[in-house]
Structure 1
């Protein structure tokens, strides 16, 4: 095994700490994801002469839906047994252990839950402001891979969602986890999502028919997720020994939905 290129990753997830407050790279990556998404959509909305203020209102819906969906998705899909007996910890950034209160932040966000939350938020937004849901989803489909790429970089700094052991020369040793060289699965996803973003942006300027951008987003992102899961460690113990893990099981319906939008979806109304 060529050990020359193997990276030993021991960077602290915290940029700095002041008392009980700490700023993490993941938080910065999440904020950059929102900012980058806003900047790209702002250009799209200006190009299409969307009324001022629409993007700001949409942003509120999307951030709220994403965070709630991601949090609930993690709690229900991955740790349902724990949160069944600790329901207050779903929404409170603290844990109660032996009578002690421990500030934990919101540990645990699931991308599939975020996807569901965004869909529901987009649906609600389309009803309230009388916009085509398909039109909204197609525009969101441009920026979601960009945001996902930045968030996966944040996961890398957190040394979470790690890959299985690997002998490849670009394997990474996450020293906060163990001394085993592993697939940098977070960077695989970040790179793939960045490529998907470039493709989605290119396709947008080709003026595809309604539903095509959203369909290609679902097909490309969740096929990528399904495949990369094979080189990831399982996130929770109940996945061990199963042919497919939870991430792959949740990806399959979204892949099929993407195929539906690409091949069979027909629009019955416009924005």
Structure 2
């Protein structure tokens, strides 16, 4: 039986400021923090590798668009029925714009009558990954003109810190909650979604994931700065994929299922959506990392 006397009670309003026509969520601020940390780490990397730092701004723009668009499209894997049940126009708006339907809402700056600004609250990491890989390819072809894996090796270093910030945002939002437990650090998410059932002491799975991501950052930063592996194109990127998606795979055992599990239900192999979607990324990471010895270059 869960020991509620030892559980931490978490009852933070996910909205930091509510101005009526616009709401500022902690989760949105965590996304901003994620991109800020990525910007500063990537700037340092460009300086170390003697790459024109003026390329940082277009890289940031490409990364932002790829991550946000990809993350929103990836959310369809978790809430497919919800979006398919909407009129086409409404579903497109809510997928690509940070708004949600509210007939009582006033016009948003004279536009979108009947919608309110809600911020992006459904952002799938698998979709964000695919979106970024697409825009990284486009950026590299237009600006950098190097082997794409050279760029991915370096961008991979910036991602874990951003991922950690976003998982902290999930924790503040009382979303992606863990399964019931009687561990002394269990958390009662008072404002959790009704879809998770009764408010009980749960694993703070979001924080498990965030801590692991910070550890991954220090591992791959050390490899980049202190070893010659950065000269094996794809090694750091491949290792990053293996570590990050293995963490995601195993932490899923401590989480409640998220949204519609239609992928998991279709395959019926005892894994949830997050785990099934992580497996291809782990395999890709292993292949890229192992074959990186064939792509060594000299830039010392």
**TM-score of Structure 1 vs Structure 2, range by shorter chain:** over 0.9
For residues 180 and 37 of structure 1, the distance between their equivalents in structure 2, rounded to whole angstroms, comes to: 35
1:230 to 253, 256, 265: 253
- Map 1:23-172 → 2, pairs under 5 A: 23-75=24-76, 77-84=77-84, 85=86, 86=88, 87-88=91-92, 89-96=94-101, 101-103=114-116, 104-129=118-143, 130-172=145-187
TM, length-normalised to structure 2? 0.84
Deviation at 1:90, TM superposition (A): 1.6
Structure 1: how far apart are the matches of 2:51 and 2:157? 16
Q: Give the Cα separation in 2 of the matches to 1:105 and 1:32.
A: 15
1:175 has 2:190 as partner:
yes
Instruction: Report if the CA contact (8 A) 2:78-2:260 is conserved.
Output: no
Secondary structure in structure 2 of the residue aligned to 1:23:
strand
SS at match of 1:109: coil
Instruction: Pick closer, same or farther for the CA change 1:270–1:135 going to 2, 3 Å.
Output: farther
Equivalent residues of 2:42, 2:158 under 8 A apart = yes
Residues 61-98 of structure 1, C-alpha deviation per residue, up to 9 Å, x if partnerless? 101100000001102x1222332344322223334477
1:4-52 Cα shifts (integer Å, max 9, x gaps): 5421000111222222222211111111111111111111111111013
Residue 245 and residue 181 in structure 1: after superposition, are their counterparts in 2 closer, same or farther (change >3 A)? same
| Unaligned segments of structure 1, at least 5 residues | none
Q: 1:213 to 1:18 in 2, by over 3 A?
A: same
Per the alignment, residue 110 of structure 2 pairs with: none
- 1:22 & 1:118 partners in 2: Cα distance? 27
| Cα deviation code 1:122-171 (max 9, x no counterpart) | 11111112122011100011011111001100110000000011111110
Q: Paired residue for 2:244, among 221, 228, 233?
A: 221
SS in 2 for 1:264: helix
Q: 1:189 aligns with which of 190, 202, 209?
A: 209
Identify the range of structure 1 (84-93 vs 118-127) with the bigger mean alpha-carbon deviation: 84-93
Q: For structure 2, which runs of at least 5 residues remain unmatched after alignment?
A: 106-113, 193-197
Find the residue that maps to 1:50 and give its secondary structure.
Answer: coil
Whole-angstrom distance in 1 between the partners of 2:161 and 2:56: 17
Using a 3 Å threshold, how does the CA distance of structure 1 residues 166 and 126 change in structure 2: closer, same or farther? same
- Verify the 8 A CA contact 1:155 1:186 in the aligned structure 2: yes
Answer whether contact 2:233 2:296 (CA < 8 A) is retained.
no
Query: Whole-Å Cα distance in 1 between the matches of residues 223 and 297 of structure 2?
Result: 21
Give the direction of change, closer, same or farther, for the CA distance of 1:110–1:41 in structure 2 (3 Å limit).
Answer: same
Distance 1:268 1:48, change over 3 A: closer
> Against the structure 1 CA distance between its residues 212 and 19, is the aligned structure 2 distance closer, same or farther, given a 3 Å change threshold?
same
2: CA distance between counterparts of 1:52 and 1:236?
41
Q: How many residues align?
A: 270
What CA distance in whole angstroms lies between the structure 2 residues aligned with 1:98 and 1:45? Answer: 48
